[in-house]
Amino acid sequence: MAGRLKQLQPIILRCAHPHSFSTQPEVIQVTPKVSLFDQKVHIKVQGLPSKTKVTLHATTQQEWRRKPVEFKSCSHYVTSDDGDLDLNRDVSVGGTYTGLDPMGPFWSLKPSPAGPQNIRMVVRNGDEPVLYNLSVYLGHLSLRELVATDTQVKPVYTTTVTRLKKSADVRRIPVREGNVRGILFLPPGEGPHPGVIDMFGSAGGLMELRATLLASHGFAVLALPFFKYEDLPAKLEDVTFDYFEEAVSWFSSHSAVKDDGIGVVAVSTGAQFALLMAWMCPQVKTVVFINGPPFYWLYDLCRKDGTLVRKGIKLDLNFAVPTEEGLSIRDCFPHTTDSFIPVWESSAHVLVLQSDDDNQVDPKLADVLYNLYPDDKRHLLEVMHYPGAGHLLEPPYSPHCRYCVNPTFGMDFLWGGNPSDHAVAQEDSWNRILKFLKTHLS
């Protein structure tokens, strides 16, 4: 590798000479330069040598378990006769993604080769933008070559791209109402607005990206943590159903929220609570159920007074599959059809988004749920399968995470999926979520 970099270095240094590039204004053009996280951008580069191999390198720094970490991508192109590069036109022939995809440098980000690999890009505080550094290098370089400390390879062009988690006019309001904790995001205007509760899974804490984007599309959104946040329970087994009932009651009666019913969007462990809320809380009229178990698992769910709400299915780890990347538990739920949450007894509309390479929840369970719906209720349920996608289905252009440590369980979990199919699933599912919520909460 070092020899190859030394061969490239004279070419790069010559091309980076001020006389070669200083006359080119805005040589890396990103339109728009500041954009919402779920918005596509157009990347063009001018002033490069014609018919030349180049690498586009994207980097962002985030925080993982209170430590800074870097996520990186690289894509390989050949410039045009005019020395231009246009990601809307030009195909990546190598790197972290291949093919024609203008957003590839974003969704193909992966942990830096210089750091731990079992981490996930977690976007938390909705007020802070995500900053990406885009750099252009001559030659086709791998991520390892780009981060090598024994080389002086320099980019010929560099720029910064800003991706906003929410529109500037969306308000972020911390919530401490009774026992309810979280963040309320309100779109501009007097309202009332269609209301959505947004929840994540067994990692705990508060994640804001999906909630901020939903608010940017006109919804009043309560980002609702249920453990490992402020004074909420530290353990998942200590969560009681009263908490969700109180959150539904408070949020659905808020003056900024339409009074004809709310929606719930949830993934993984949070999704099982979403089904229970739709089944037991009449205010919930829509649910987006993302890669969740359609039954309650792990612990018995009670109210604070000890009243049993739902018997939990205990994991049978005899069926767990350990891999080099992490643990797969998709076959560890010893369920029967009686275990399923009978959400069909409600009048709620449910959109099921199921990744077919999910290694935490058996994808076939989504079809079992569909078959349990009575014929006269099936119009309330829509099931969408995504081949090649993994468990952590997030807003579009989020990097795919195949495996990482689950902080609650203290071990690496295999989430599954491959980057390109997962990216397709995230973009398609996001558009479906927005359309579904607008249709049933308008």
Under 8 Å between Cβ of 341 and 275 = yes
Catalytic residue among 391, 400, 422, 440: 391
Tokens of 1: 């590798």
**Interatomic CA distance for residues 319 and 119, integer angstroms:** 25
The DSSP code for 365 is: H
Which phi and psi (to 5°) does residue 205 adopt? 75, -165
**Interatomic CA distance for residues 285 and 298, integer angstroms:** 27
* Closest to 12 (Cα-Cα) out of 195, 146, 106, 103: 146
Q: Name residue 58's amino acid.
A: A
Q: How far is CA 316 from CA 298, 313, 334, in A?
A: 10, 9, 7
Beta bridge partners of 400: none
**Interatomic CA distance for residues 370 and 329, integer angstroms:** 22
Beta bridge partners of 352: 289, 383
Catalytic residue among 268, 346, 355, 398: 268
Return the SS3 of 391.
coil
Q: Name residue 284's amino acid.
A: V
Return the SS3 of 166.
coil
**Interatomic CA distance for residues 299 and 18, integer angstroms:** 65
Tokens of 352: 């099921």
**Interatomic CA distance for residues 164 and 37, integer angstroms:** 5
Q: Is 80 a catalytic residue?
A: no
Q: Is 255 a catalytic residue?
A: no
Catalytic residue among 358, 398, 412, 421: 358
For residue 3, how many other CB atoms are within 10 A of its CB?
Answer: 7
DSSP code per residue over 243-262? HHHHHHHHHHT-TTB-TT-E
Q: Is 129 exposed, middle or buried (0-12, 13-18, 19+ CB in 10 A)?
A: middle
**Interatomic CA distance for residues 21 and 175, integer angstroms:** 51
Under 8 Å between Cβ of 334 and 293 = no
Q: Is 358 a catalytic residue?
A: yes
> Which residue do the tokens 């579009």 mark?
396
Tokens of 97: 């993604």
Q: Which positions are catalytic?
A: 268, 358, 391
